[in-house]
Amino acid sequence: MIDEQKLQQTLRGFASDRDWEQFHSPRNLISALNVEAGELLELFQWESKNHIVDVNEPETRQKVEDEIADVFIYLLRIADKLDVSLENVAIAKMKKNAEKYPIDKSKGKAVKYTEL
Amino acid sequence: MIDEQKLQQTLRGFASDRDWEQFHSPRNLISALNVEAGELLELFQWESKNHIVDVNEPETRQKVEDEIADVFIYLLRIADKLDVSLENVAIAKMKKNAEKYPIDKSKGKAVKYTEL
Amino acid sequence: MIDEQKLQQTLRGFASDRDWEQFHSPRNLISALNVEAGELLELFQWESKNHIVDVNEPETRQKVEDEIADVFIYLLRIADKLDVSLENVAIAKMKKNAEKYPIDKSKGKAVKYTEL
Amino acid sequence: MIDEQKLQQTLRGFASDRDWEQFHSPRNLISALNVEAGELLELFQWESKNHIVDVNEPETRQKVEDEIADVFIYLLRIADKLDVSLENVAIAKMKKNAEKYPIDKSKGKAVKYTEL
């Protein structure tokens, strides 16, 4: 169980202590989310047949965890700012996805629902 | 409280029912996370002095919630694949951030810790 | 005038000298393009009413130029790998955009063509 | 040869005709660049051992070219706004990269220069 509200409260305090609320508009937090998602991608960008990232190698694992954390932290902030429940919107979207991607039509296919 | 494991279990079933596990390497899921983060950013990309996105307008709100959901869904999948607890890594990273950004040095400043 | 082919030839040599062609699939180069675009965005992510990035401040300017360069370098590599002329595809896309966004309908509006 | 200035002039006219200059701050254009880079990545996001994107299939090729064009168009706009020569900054950055990645140290390695 993730205590979303406690995490958000801590993050709110962190920003407020540093007088950073002025920078944390939804748009800016969403920009930061993109930047952090990019940093996570960077760790995997050159994966190739002969070059697989070993996510269990301790130093790599630490980097991966830190970047995942950064993405999650900004996502929590965005949800807090916009008064969105991450769990509720995920459940609602999963229902939509189940309709957009019926099992029989999408089985084994990596294509967009518009092309099924 | 977010029931991370239940959400992940549902997502795992969703992928498995569609024979999509073959596409869901950490690297691919991280690519998808970036794509969805970009779609969320798209909704805010032209914000300007005279053009503020109204996140309470129902159609916009629905889009914003759907994109936030997509980001969260892929983040849950990535955490599941890599056996990472989103809460634990977030808490660990927040501690690091508190050290990297001491209140007195970072107050009111939107700069990287390397420039404090 | 940009000598696209000469730049691409130099970049090809750079990769080949380092035995990096094995990592430079279109997909990997596109991942790197996203990472660099994110690094460029990072420089502007906290822009706010009271915090405008001064792109003429020498150190900031250098960073901005370096990140723009990185995006362009990967774009040149991608175009080279896929045998795409950047100029030709840009001109073709500009024609499409002119049709999707007729002046009278899109004047002063920051919305997607699907909503005009 | 790419006629950068002519392309930029056309793009400037396109924006100005639609009264879009108000939305085209460097920061907003850089956001749009990220969004388009994400759309290009989307076309390749599920690449796997048994699922290679066929960039010669006409419909896919058209999509790839359109997304590459969008990235290039925004890059041209950003360079125009910031008075940056894409060619000059690319050449300057390639020199830096040659120093950061000496051939003997970086041969066959897909790691950041900080780890060589």
**Average pLDDT per 10 consecutive residues for chain B, totaling 116 residues:** 97 97 97 98 95 96 98 98 98 97 95 89
Decide if A33 and B71 are in contact by the 8 Å CB cutoff. Answer: yes
D29-46 per-position pLDDT tens digit: 999 999 999 999 999 999
- Of B25, B39, B48, Cβ closest to residue D48: B25
**What is residue A50's predicted lDDT score, i.e. its pLDDT?**
85
**What is residue D116's predicted lDDT score, i.e. its pLDDT?**
86
Dmax (CA) for chain C in angstroms is 53
**What is residue B50's predicted lDDT score, i.e. its pLDDT?**
85
Min Cα separation D48/chain C (Å):
11
> Which of B66, C81, C115, A43 shows the shortest CA–CA distance to D56?
C81
Decide if C53 and D27 are in contact by the 8 Å CB cutoff. Answer: yes
Instruction: Provide mean pLDDT across the span A77-103.
Output: 97
**What is residue D50's predicted lDDT score, i.e. its pLDDT?**
85
Estimate to the nearest angstrom the gap between the alpha carbon of A6 and the chain centroid: 18
Decide if C75 and D70 are in contact by the 8 Å CB cutoff. Answer: no
Structural contact between residues B2 and A1, judged by C-beta atoms closer than 8 angstroms: yes
**What is residue A64's predicted lDDT score, i.e. its pLDDT?**
98
Give the confidence band of D9 by pLDDT, cuts at 50, 70, 90: very high
Q: Which residues of B touch C110 (CB under 8 A)?
A: 46, 48, 51
Give the confidence band of A56 by pLDDT, cuts at 50, 70, 90: very high
Give the confidence band of D115 by pLDDT, cuts at 50, 70, 90: confident
Min Cα separation C19/chain D (Å):
5
**What is residue B101's predicted lDDT score, i.e. its pLDDT?**
97
**What is residue C116's predicted lDDT score, i.e. its pLDDT?**
86
Instruction: Provide mean pLDDT across the span D87-100.
Output: 97
Structural contact between residues C39 and C71, judged by C-beta atoms closer than 8 angstroms: no
Structural contact between residues D2 and C4, judged by C-beta atoms closer than 8 angstroms: yes
pLDDT surpassing 90 at residue D108: yes
pTM listed for this prediction: 0.98
Q: Which residues of B touch C48 (CB under 8 A)?
A: 110
Q: What is the overall mean pLDDT for chain A?
A: 97
| Contacts of B among chains (3+ CB pairs under 8 A) | A, C, D
What stretches in chain C show pLDDT beneath 50? Answer: none
How far is the CA of B19 from the CAs of A108, B12, B28, D50, in angstroms?
A: 5, 10, 15, 13
Closest-CA residue of C relative to D87 is C2
Structural contact between residues B9 and B17, judged by C-beta atoms closer than 8 angstroms: no
